[in-house]
Amino acid sequence: MSLSSREEKLALGVMIVLVLGGLSVATSRVRAWRTSLAEQETIVETREVEARELRNGGVLWEERRRWIAGSLPAHPNDGEARSSLVSAVQEAARAHSVSLQSQKLIDPDAEGKTDEETAPKMENQPKGFALVVTASGDLKNLVMWWHELLRPDCFRQINFLKVIPEDDSSEMLRCSVEIWQWYRLSTESPGAERVTSLSSR
């Protein structure tokens, strides 16, 4: 059965459309593959640069680690560290006319799974705990109280802070604050003697 001239032209047109469609799909896939390859190459180059910077800055970061290990507040045991923070909060509150309503210690070991369980174990790793305090005072006194508690040499940080008016007719404020304390046990050495420079590896 032979095709007419018109049918042959129609068949040829369909074949051309199919070939062009196939080429278009193939071209799109090649273009997408090249784009993906370029993105992966950029990621690899970025990681190489980051790794190089970390390697070159190893000595500096090791010096910082040693400084932190040697500068952390040292306490003979965990209980003394906790009582030290409680005393510091109370003394600073008295000095700045801040009234304390409640204080609650939060031990991360008693709060279920902690980061310490998943983090790599390191000798002389800083220890920490939190104290949740509810207090009241005017804004200036509260700010001075926070300022004294957060001196850089104390190695403390505020994880949570909420301030609300004491009542509608007063300038007094009530605040809830979670103060985190970092420290090390004085029975452990600061770890400076055991440092291995990254540059020597």
Q: What pLDDT, on the 0 to 100 scale, is given for residue 110? A: 54
Q: What is the DSSP letter of 109?
A: G
Q: What pLDDT, on the 0 to 100 scale, is given for residue 108? A: 66
Residue with tokens 């970390």: 54
Residue with tokens 């062009």: 20
User: Which residue has better confidence, 1 or 60?
Assistant: 60
- What span, in angstroms and rounded, lies between the C-alpha atoms of 44 and 52? 12
Instruction: Cite the DSSP H helix spans in the chain.
Output: 5-56, 58-71, 78-95, 115-118, 139-149
Query: Beta strands 99-106 and 127-137: pairing type?
Result: antiparallel
Query: Beta strands 156-165 and 99-106: pairing type?
Result: unpaired
Please answer whether residues 84 and 182 qualify as being in contact, where contact means their C-beta atoms are separated by less than 8 angstroms. no
- What span, in angstroms and rounded, lies between the C-alpha atoms of 136 and 101? 8
Among 54-63, 92-101, 188-197, the minimum mean pLDDT is found in 188-197
Residue 168: pLDDT band with limits 50, 70, 90: confident
Q: What pLDDT, on the 0 to 100 scale, is given for residue 200? A: 39
